[in-house]
Structure 1
Amino acid sequence: MLFENLKVNRVAVHEIFRRNDDRSIQAPAYANGLEVLSPEAMGAFRLRMTDALSGQTQSLQMRIVKFGAGSFLETAETLVGSDDAAFLVGSRDLATKLAESQMARRIPGGMVIVFDGTVSAASMPFVGVIKAEIQQGFRRSIAGTNAVIEFLNNIFLTPATRLYKIGVMAFDDMTKPKPEGRRAFIFDSFGICAAKVA
């Protein structure tokens, strides 16, 4: 499936952390509200998602094997058509589940971006989740006649490094019994894709 005509409706950004030395979970830093992106930022975000999910080498359609209580499918389905407050709460639940699933201390934390919208000419609803690692970098700007170099300690979703993973649940026909009428996709910038998704 090519992710053409991608329209993003809402975006929530949370942060999860590497496990503590005793392997306990650090509580995620949850967003207090939905993101308000400028048209330029939204355009860049949509382009990044379209490029990643339309790639043939690192994007795969997955077989849905878990679709009951607590599954990603169930949570994503509750977010489709929800109001903004319910979307924010559900997005926090997804961030918590990701933090809980990262059992090893070697797995870094990162930003968890939950977004929804429609895709394709048929305006198929979808819910997407991104785990993006935080990086460091520099930004150059001009202040008067001087060039200023600023060190940034918390950038993510940069096109050069592509250190992120994306999962998308698309809903062809929600009137069908689960998991029919639903399609799951995963993109892994490292090229490591599993055989199935929960």
Structure 2
Amino acid sequence: MELVNLTIDRIIIHQIYRRDDDGNKVTPTQSHEYTLFDNSAMEAFKSRVRDALGSGSKAVQMEIVNQEDTDLSSLVDSMADQSAEDFAISSYDIAMKLTNAQQRKAIPGGIVVVFLGRQGHPLKRFLGVIKAEIHSAYEKEVNSTTNEISLKFVEEVLLTPGTRLYKTAGFFERTEYDPSSSDLNDKWVVMVSDYQISQADGKAAAQYFYADFLGCGYPQTSARTTKQFYEATIGFISSLEVGEIEKSDLLNALTTYLKVDTSSSISAADFASKYFGDIDIQDSFTSYMEDEGIPSTAFTKDLAHIEGKLKFRKVSFGGNVKITAPSQAFKDLVVIEAIPGEPDEAGNPTEWTKVVVKERIIQQE
């Protein structure tokens, strides 16, 4: 999601709490007024939204599963057309739904930021929800009369460079859709990011957030998209004007990225930054992948269609010579390098390949 021409029209913030010692819900603190940022603060907020949901982020596209009238997706769909007064009231329903979804006492409270905006060409609407967990260093300031959370506190939590937006979701209106369709997936694209979890143990988002709260699930096409990513990357590597040894190293890197890396989301930009040292090659790769129809943002990794291909690495040489080994063993035990060979019959230089296997021979046939 590029998030170009981004405009934020409404921001309202509520406070939610951890469950009490007995496991009972604590009623959220409701805000009745919109938060108004000055120009510099608004630009900082928009930058945070782009970092969480835009192109190059760790956001993963998800599918709307729960679409009943009482589900969040239906609430979002109606809020997009509401007046400012009704929107403010409905935004508190979002805070209540998140409170209900947080069923374990270990889940921390925080502030819930609900915002409405527009983006793209032509401009299309989107509704975002951020849960920012409150660090102990922050002292929440609430007006005892109005129960409003102070702007100073909001700016500290949302806008300071060291603060992470832990959980973020965006419902983006599609450029074209059939208004008569009853499937909200035809109207809205949902992007979800969870900085805390995606950077820790590889999950795309906390289940209580994306499933219990948002009512979303992973798209059924993740396996197909992963297969397309794998095949397109091999195609790009094969087309590079580099030596076969470097290509072999990059193919090993692709297997490592897909099979060994614990992250459950992958992206062309992430692979490029990790394994292509040349910035021009990085740019060429991301452009190539977009031309191949690979999403520009991160998507869920599903190896179902390529599991067999990732088990073994095979290298073929001239003369019908082949080396095959399990992917991890190939990476750890096989060293391949190009060496000068004897001149051919015309006296031209040739290139041979030196293969070192860091194990002894145990059987020959």
The TM-score by the shorter chain falls in which range? 0.7 to 0.9
**Inter-partner Cα distance in structure 2 for 1:163 and 1:175:** 33
1:183 alignment partner, one of 186, 189, 205: 189
State the match for 2:258 in structure 1: none
Q: Report the Cα distance in structure 1 between the residues aligned to 2:171 and 2:72, rounded to whole angstroms.
A: 8
Bigger proportion of residues as helix: 2
In structure 2, C-alpha distance between the alignment counterparts of 1:174 and 1:41, rounded to whole Å: 37
Kindly provide the CA deviation profile for residues 104-144 of structure 1, in whole angstroms up to 9, marking residues without a partner as x.
11110000000001111121111110000112269xxxxxx
**CA shift digits 1:10-39 (9 cap, x unpaired):** 000000000011111111011021112111
Structure 1 position 159, deviation (Å)? 3.0
Deviation larger for 155-164 or 79-88: 155-164
Contact 2:53 2:169 in 1 (8 A): no
Deviation (angstroms), 1:81? 2.3
Distance 1:35 1:57, change over 3 A: closer
Contact 2:52 2:165 in 1 (8 A): no
Match of 1:156 in 2: 157
Identity of aligned residues (%): 30
The CA deviation string for residues 138-197 of structure 1, in whole angstroms up to 9 with x for no partner, is 9xxxxxxxxxxxxx9884123324142111111223714122121111011121324865
CA contact (8 A) 2:129 2:169 kept: yes
Alignment match, 1:193: 204
**The 10-residue stretch of structure 1 (5-14 or 170-179) with the greater mean CA deviation from structure 2:** 170-179
Other-structure match for 1:165: 167
Can you give the 5+ residue segments of structure 2 that lack an aligned partner in the other structure?
140-151, 216-365
Q: How far is 1:56 from its partner?
A: 3.7
Higher strand share: 1
Query: In the alignment, what sits opposite 1:77?
Result: 77
CA distance in 2: counterparts of 1:159 and 1:63, whole angstroms: 31
Tell me whether 1:90 sits opposite 2:90 in the alignment.
yes
Q: Distance in 2 between matches of 1:99 and 1:159?
A: 27
Q: In the superposition, relative to structure 1, how do residues 174 and 9 fare at CA in structure 2: closer, same or farther (>3 Å)?
A: farther
In the aligned structure 1, how far is the partner of 2:46 from the partner of 2:180? 29
Runs of 5+ consecutive residues of structure 1 not aligned to the other structure:
139-151
- Structure-2 separation of matches of 1:26 and 1:65: 27
- 1:41, distance to aligned residue in structure 2 (A): 1.2
Distance of 2:153 and 2:115 partners within structure 1:
24
User: How far apart in 1 are the matches of 2:153 and 2:12?
Assistant: 21
Paired AA for residue 187 in structure 2? G
- TM-score, normalising length: structure 1: 0.85
Moved more, 170-179 or 116-125: 170-179
Q: Paired residue for 1:145?
A: none
Structure 1 residue identity aligned to 2:34: L
Q: How far is 1:65 from its partner? A: 1.1
If asked which structure has higher relative contact order (CA below 8 Å, sep 6+), I would say 1
Aligned length: 185
Q: After the TM superposition, which parts of structure 1 deviate over 6 Å for at least 4 consecutive aligned residues?
A: none
